[in-house]
């Protein structure tokens, strides 16, 4: 479930066991969160809920009446064109290799990394570093494209067009569906 306006909103998942996981999205500089004492659950809930003053009580209750203390999940990213010099015998796949915005493709990317790495090893059975280098060359280029796409996705969902950007995408309407 999404409830969005530009730069803030709710993203919830209904899990097994009648549990609702709630992500409260607030697009703010890290310093804004420095002023909140997350070890004090009650004041943190009140501070975050205050950002949604006037929203539907059912939504604000996802913060105020939560069973567990709020956890700060900052988003860290490296430059879109991030890459590293090859280190013999070592490489990265999945989230460890793609430190970027959460564009919704992380699991797909991790599986593709694993499959392409396996293909590279099969193609270079006697030279593991040739395999790792071949994998990295292809993966770095794909990772940059994926990072740029993640920016576009985040902007579509949480940016100035919220909530119509996501609604249009899901409905297959307007220009967002074609991008
Ligand atoms: C709320 C949410 C929604 C998402 N939705 C989507 C989606 O719709 N589509 C999509 O494609 N992706 C989605 N993702 C992203 C996706 O879950 C990740 O990109 C993906 O799980 C990354 O896989 P991974 O194997 O690289 O890392 P992980 O799945 O994080 O696996 C790493 C594993 O390493 C273990 N580990 C860590 N440290 C150690 C250690 N020292 N020793 C041993 N084990 C260790 C961890 O316990 C974990 O099991 C979502 C993520 C979140 C949080």
List, as one string, the DSSP characters of 98-122: --S---S-HHHHHHHHHHHHHHHHH
Using the 3D structure, point to which of 64, 84, 102 is the last residue of a domain: 64
- In a domain, residue 50? The reply is yes
- In a domain, residue 23? The reply is yes
- In a domain, residue 21? The reply is yes
Assess whether the C-beta atom of 111 lies below 6 angstroms from ligand 1: no
Q: Are 46 and 104 part of one and the same domain?
A: no
Q: What is the pLDDT of residues 65-108, one digit of tens each?
A: 999 999 999 988 999 999 999 999 999 999 999 999 999 999 99
Q: Are 102 and 152 part of one and the same domain?
A: yes
State the distance from the centre of ligand 1 to the C-alpha of 43, rounded, in angstroms. 30
Tell me the residue range of the domain where 131 lies.
Answer: 94-171
State the distance from the centre of ligand 1 to the C-alpha of 17, rounded, in angstroms. 21
d(CA 163, CA 129): 47
- In a domain, residue 107? The reply is yes
Specify the pTM: 0.87
Phi, psi angles (nearest 5°) of residue 9: 160, -165
Q: Are 114 and 158 part of one and the same domain?
A: yes
State the distance from the centre of ligand 1 to the C-alpha of 22, rounded, in angstroms. 18
Q: Are 99 and 144 part of one and the same domain?
A: yes
Assess whether the C-beta atom of 95 lies below 6 angstroms from ligand 1: yes
- In a domain, residue 176? The reply is no
Q: How many domains does the chain divide into?
A: 2
Q: Which H/E stretch holds residue 11?
A: strand 8-15
Residue 164 and residue 171 in contact, taking contact as beta carbons nearer than 8 Å: no
Assess whether the C-beta atom of 108 lies below 6 angstroms from ligand 1: yes
Assess whether the C-beta atom of 94 lies below 6 angstroms from ligand 1: yes
Closest CA to 120 of 142, 107, 98, 136: 136
The band of 129, judged by pLDDT with boundaries at 50, 70 and 90, is: very high
């Amino acid at each position: 479930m999404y409830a969005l306006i530009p730069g803030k909103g709710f993203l919830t998942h209904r899990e097994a066991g009648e549990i609702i996981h709630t992500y409260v999205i607030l697009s703010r500089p890290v310093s804004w969160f420095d002023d909140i004492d997350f070890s004090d659950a009650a004041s943190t809930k009140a501070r975050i809920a205050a950002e949604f003053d006037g929203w539907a009580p059912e939504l604000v209750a996802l913060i105020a009446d939560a069973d567990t203390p709020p956890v700060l999940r900052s988003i860290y990213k490296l430059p879109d064109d991030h890459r590293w010099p090859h280190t013999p015998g070592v490489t990265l796949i999945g989230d460890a290799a793609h430190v970027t915005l959460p564009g919704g493709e992380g699991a797909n990317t991790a599986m593709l990394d694993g499959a392409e790495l396996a293909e590279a090893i099969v193609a270079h059975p006697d030279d593991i570093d040739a395999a790792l280098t071949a994998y990295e060359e292809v993966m770095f280029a794909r990772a940059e494209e994926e990072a740029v796409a993640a920016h576009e996705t985040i902007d579509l969902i949480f940016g100035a067009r919220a909530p119509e950007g996501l609604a249009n995408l899901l409905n297959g309407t307007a220009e967002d569906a074609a991008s």
